[in-house]
């Protein structure tokens, strides 16, 4: 999606301001600052009364934070004095748009919120007795145009981010259905070949048309109709495979069976065979393309450890958050990092380091449940998403993991053994819809575990409070 450059938007922002006198600009900026708190309060009253919007605002943390952010946003929007200020404002609107997309707030609610704010702003201006008619008119236009431009920038960032999230979501769905794409591809090609052989044999021995093996009922047909079609949903090629299978079963197969020289509706037996072969060829061709296009799905896994890589982390966290909010459950995020891993590489070589990473991945797999998600985020950093988990159990799980690593004798390529340890930062979902906040809390807790001496678990307690250390042992 093409987007206007920051320079272009900056010139538009400045052009809006330039249409008004310096006095009018100052007045609006002061007015916004003075009324930021009451505008924010009005906004939340209105939005909480809306059942569609209140689900995104029902959490205390959201309300407290958003109330303050909203006041800052209103107070800062009309006060740019330099180009640098405008660039900063543009970046801020983009960031807000991205957060809205990440949280999944429907765009109409964002626009509704903007309308509500604008209406209140105009209302307050209207009831300000000190204003002469000209200033009132200028202030209303300036406020309105500025909010519109801010919403436009926000809206654009929203759609770009939303598109990206949808593509990741789509890829994840596909990934989940067809776990090992290379295997699946070989298996399905073989299944298609099997059906073709069976058909040739059946028709060679004179099987009646009604009893010939139907492609839609074959292993390949079943897989494609029930799994493939979902995995490749929306693609023209998948539709073409479905149509071709239907045509083979419903049009071509009933024409078989007559003796070899006869013609059916002007079509000879040989023509029929050629037609069938062409149709199977086209299925094979489309299938190859479908798998080819989705080859990058394998990129969802880390090659060294076979854990998930960070590609699908936003999708998985987004899904967990929606589920936890809907079912009023909790889950935990464990940020895990090997201590002094650089020394392993330095002292024993990179290959030894790789082997340690693989063994650690195995310990993580063995100490988590099959519903949990394990990611290698890069280097020696791992992330465990422990589903249906409260803080007490998450802490126990992290401790168990830490102890398992501490006890493990890691085997090196030269046959020697090595002891190592991990630091873990644990954050539990608290109701905030933005997964970045949760990750940040887990990261801060991990950072704190490192600072306090490593080989320990630190729980990130409630938002904005200092993480609490859990002494090792
Ligand atoms: N063997 C191997 N090493 C890697 C890989 N990815 C990153 N590393 C190394 O991991 C090391 C990470 O070192 P640091 O970030 O300094 O952290 P550390 O030594 O573990 O220290 P603390 O985390 O502070 O306890 C670096 O030396 C990287 O080169 C990999 O895939 N294989």
262 occurs within a structural domain = yes
Residues 406 and 461 in one domain: yes
85 occurs within a structural domain = yes
The closest residue, in CA terms, to atom 13 on ligand 1 is 342
CA 163/CA 182 separation, integer angstroms? 27
Angle at CA of residue 395, ends 389 and 396, nearest 5°: 90
Residues 274 and 342 in one domain: no
Q: Which residue has the tokens 């422990």?
A: 386
User: Which atom from ligand 1 is nearest to the alpha carbon of 345?
Assistant: 1
Distance of CA 191 to the CA centre of its chain: 34
With both helix axes pointing from N to C terminus, report the angle between 6-18 and 83-103 in degrees, rounded to the nearest 10: 120
- Is residue 194 within 8 A of residue 218, CB to CB? The reply is yes
Q: What's the pLDDT score for residue 408? A: 95
**What ipTM score was computed for the predicted complex, to two decimals?**
0.97
CA 162/CA 378 separation, integer angstroms? 25
The domain that holds 150 is classified in CATH as 1.10.490.10
Q: Which of 89, 86, 78 lies closest to 28 in space, CA to CA?
A: 78
305 occurs within a structural domain = no
Q: Which of 5, 14, 6 lies closest to 145 in space, CA to CA?
A: 14
Residues 161 and 186 in one domain: no
The helix (run of H) or strand (run of E) holding residue 428 is: strand 422-428
Instruction: Report the domain count for the chain.
Output: 3
110, 138, 167 - which closes a domain = 167
Residues 363 and 429 in one domain: yes
299 occurs within a structural domain = no
Per DSSP, which regions of 387-439 are E strands?
410-411, 417-418, 422-428
Q: What's the pLDDT score for residue 369? A: 83
358 occurs within a structural domain = yes
Q: Which residue has the tokens 């609107």?
A: 93
Q: What residue spans of 55-106 are helical by DSSP H?
A: 60-77, 83-103
Q: What's the pLDDT score for residue 179? A: 56
| Share of the chain residues as helix, strand and coil, in percent rounded to the nearest 5 | 65, 10, 25
* Series of mean pLDDT values for 10-residue runs along the chain (473 residues): 78 92 92 93 83 74 78 90 92 92 84 90 88 88 93 89 74 61 81 93 85 91 79 78 95 74 60 91 91 64 84 86 87 98 95 95 89 89 93 96 96 93 96 92 98 97 53 39
Give, for ligand 1, the residue of 305, 309, 341, 360 to mutate: max count of ligand atoms closer than 8 Å to Cβ.
Answer: 341
- Two structure tokens written together for 106: 């429907």
User: Which atom from ligand 1 is nearest to the alpha carbon of 354?
Assistant: 1
CA 124/CA 206 separation, integer angstroms? 88
User: Which atom from ligand 1 is nearest to the alpha carbon of 337?
Assistant: 23
- Is residue 341 within 8 A of residue 353, CB to CB? The reply is yes
Which residues sit opposite 337 in a β-bridge?
Answer: 381, 423
298 alpha carbon to ligand 1 midpoint, in Å?
24
CA distances to 38, 124, 152 from 146, in Å: 19, 17, 10
- Two structure tokens written together for 61: 């943390």
391 occurs within a structural domain = yes
Residues 89 and 185 in one domain: no
**Collapsed DSSP state (helix, strand, coil) of residue 58:** coil
Residues 89 and 192 in one domain: no
- Is residue 219 within 8 A of residue 170, CB to CB? The reply is no
- Is residue 384 within 8 A of residue 367, CB to CB? The reply is no
With both helix axes pointing from N to C terminus, report the angle between 60-77 and 22-48 in degrees, rounded to the nearest 10: 160
341 alpha carbon to ligand 1 midpoint, in Å?
5
Residues 82 and 205 in one domain: no
Q: What's the pLDDT score for residue 210? A: 85
CA 288/CA 272 separation, integer angstroms? 24
Q: What residue spans of 232-268 are helical by DSSP H?
A: 236-247
116 occurs within a structural domain = yes
Residues 91 and 193 in one domain: no
> Which residues lie with the beta carbon below 6 Å from any ligand 1 atom?
304, 337-342, 345, 350, 353-354, 357, 379-380, 450, 454
DSSP state of 226: I
106: number of Cβ within 10 Å: 12
CA 87/CA 103 separation, integer angstroms? 25
262, 293, 324 - which closes a domain = 293
Residues 28 and 129 in one domain: yes
- Is residue 213 within 8 A of residue 199, CB to CB? The reply is yes
Residues 322 and 450 in one domain: yes
Residues 318 and 403 in one domain: yes
Reported as a single tens digit per residue, the pLDDT across 218-237 is: 989 988 887 777 677 667 78
293, 324, 345 - which closes a domain = 293
Residues 331 and 397 in one domain: yes
421 alpha carbon to ligand 1 midpoint, in Å?
13
Domain of residue 398 covers 310-470
241 occurs within a structural domain = yes
The domain that holds 353 is classified in CATH as 3.30.70.270
């Amino acid at each position: 999606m093409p987007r206007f450059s920051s320079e272009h938007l900056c010139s538009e922002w400045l052009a809006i301001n330039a249409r008004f006198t310096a006095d009018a600009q100052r007045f609006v900026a002061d007015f916004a600052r003075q009324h930021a708190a009451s505008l924010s309060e009005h906004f939340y009253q209105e939005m909480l009364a809306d059942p569609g919007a209140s689900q995104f605002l029902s959490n205390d943390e959201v309300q407290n934070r958003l109330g303050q952010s909203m006041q800052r946003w209103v107070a800062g929007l009309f006060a740019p004095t330099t180009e640098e200020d405008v660039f900063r404002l543009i970046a801020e609107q983009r960031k807000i748009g991205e957060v809205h997309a990440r949280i999944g707030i429907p765009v109409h609610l964002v626009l509704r919120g903007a309308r509500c704010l604008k209406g209140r702003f105009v209302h307050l201006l209207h009831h300000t007795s000190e204003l002469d008619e000209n200033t009132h008119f200028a202030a209303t236009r300036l406020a309105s145009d500025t909010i519109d431009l801010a919403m436009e920038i926000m809206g654009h960032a929203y759609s770009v981010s939303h598109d990206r999230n949808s593509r990741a979501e789509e890829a994840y769905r596909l990934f989940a259905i067809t776990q090992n794409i290379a295997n699946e591809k070989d298996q399905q090609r073989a299944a298609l070949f099997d059906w073709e052989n069976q058909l040739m044999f059946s028709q060679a021995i004179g099987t009646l048309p009604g009893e010939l093996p139907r492609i839609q009922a074959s292993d390949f047909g079943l897989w494609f109709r029930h799994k493939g079609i979902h995995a490749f949903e929306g693609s023209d090629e998948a539709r073409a495979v479905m149509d071709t299978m239907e045509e083979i079963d419903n049009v071509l197969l009933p024409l078989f069976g007559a003796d070899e020289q006869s013609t059916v509706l002007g079509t000879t037996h040989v023509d029929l065979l050629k037609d069938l072969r062409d149709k199977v060829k086209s299925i094979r061709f489309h299938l190859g393309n479908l798998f080819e296009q989705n080859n990058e799905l394998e990129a969802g896994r880390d090659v060294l450890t076979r854990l998930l890589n960070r590609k699908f982390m936003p999708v998985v966290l987004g899904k967990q958050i929606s589920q936890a909010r809907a079912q009023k459950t909790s889950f935990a995020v464990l940020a895990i990092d090997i201590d002094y891993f650089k020394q392993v590489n330095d002292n024993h070589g990179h290959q030894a380091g790789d082997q340690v990473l693989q063994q650690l991945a195995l310990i993580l797999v063995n100490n988590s449940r099959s519903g949990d998600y394990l990611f290698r985020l890069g280097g020696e950093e791992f992330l465990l998403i422990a589903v249906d988990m409260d803080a007490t159990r998450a802490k126990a799980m992290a401790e168990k993991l830490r102890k398992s690593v501490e006890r493990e004798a890691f085997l090196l390529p030269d046959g020697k053994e090595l002891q190592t340890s991990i630091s873990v930062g644990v954050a539990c979902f608290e109701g905030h819809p933005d997964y970045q906040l949760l990750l940040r809390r887990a990261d801060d807790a991990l950072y704190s575990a490192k600072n306090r001496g490593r080989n320990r678990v630190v729980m990130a307690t409630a938002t904005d409070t200092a993480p609490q250390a859990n002494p090792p042992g």
